[in-house]
Amino acid sequence: DLHLVPSRVSAEQVEDATGEVRVMQPLVREAFRQSRNRAAVRQRYGFAADDFVALVVAGAWGIGHVALIVRDVVECGVRVVVVCGKNQELAEQLRREYAGCSTVQVWGWTDQLPELMTAADCLIQNAGGLTCLEAIACGLPVLMYRPIAGHGVFNAAAMERAGAARWIRSADELRMVLRGAAAGRIQLPVPKIDEDAVPAAEAILTLVAGRGARIGTGRTFAAQLVRSGSS
């Protein structure tokens, strides 16, 4: 078996438990890797050149203490874009709550995350899933805040150890970090992709080619997989 993981920290955990592992590049849409004119994108979304924009994303389902996260970020005095995913009830709640607040934009489900990440100065997340991988591919600083129980807390710790995110543990720390970053006193770390990370497809094809050579051909190996999967 070959296990593909997003960081060396994860690789060490997998190696201890199983065996062969490769660090892969973020498995995300190509749109998150594309270069854009950041100033033009920010202007299109109504952000001033000196605005500090915090992008709050709570995954496809908009779960967790999102309303509290937004409240805490708003109190930091920065611009906030919150993406609620498929949680329409949450989106409507936040639109009512911040109807008179010009510094808060509330989105539901959107396919414009690549552009929003280009425009933002940081991502604030509570689960550590695909959205964080997309931010890493974009080179967008990631802050984990109020992570959801279970995998959210685990991912916050793992990403912090890997240097891919900063885990913010209190509202006071959030204010210190965001206000400092907005004023230029604090430099948020830009997540880096591991130097030895490979594209997932390359790792899989290398594995198949190697096993195909041992078995006979890659086609024979693929047929064997089909037979074993149907048995």
- Give me the residue spans of the domains in the chain: 28-183, 200-230
- CB under 8 Å, gap of 24 or more: what pairs does 34-40 form? 34/114, 36/114, 36/115, 36/118, 38/118, 38/119
Residue that the structure tokens 């048995």 belong to: 231
Between these two residues, 133 and 74, which has the higher pLDDT value?
74
pLDDT in tens, 105-114: 999 999 999 9
Query: Quick one: pLDDT band at residue 27, thresholds 50, 70, 90?
Result: confident
Q: Compute the distance between CA of residue 80 and CA of residue 121 in angstroms, rounded to an integer.
A: 10
What average pLDDT does range 134-150 have in this prediction? 94
pLDDT in tens, 153-208: 999 998 898 888 999 999 999 999 999 999 999 999 888 766 676 676 777 777 67
Q: Compute the distance between CA of residue 76 and CA of residue 171 in angstroms, rounded to an integer.
A: 9
Between these two residues, 110 and 27, which has the higher pLDDT value?
110
What homologous superfamily does CATH list for 28-183? Answer: Glycogen Phosphorylase B; (3.40.50.2000)
Query: Quick one: pLDDT band at residue 214, thresholds 50, 70, 90?
Result: low
7: Cα within 13 Å, side-chain hemisphere = 19
Ramachandran region, residue 3 (left: φ > 0; alpha: ψ -120 to 50; beta: rest):
beta
Cβ atoms of residues 101 and 77 within 8 Å: no
Query: Quick one: pLDDT band at residue 229, thresholds 50, 70, 90?
Result: very low
CA dihedral of 141, 194, 6, 210, whole degrees rounded to 10:
160
Q: Compute the distance between CA of residue 159 and CA of residue 63 in angstroms, rounded to an integer.
A: 20
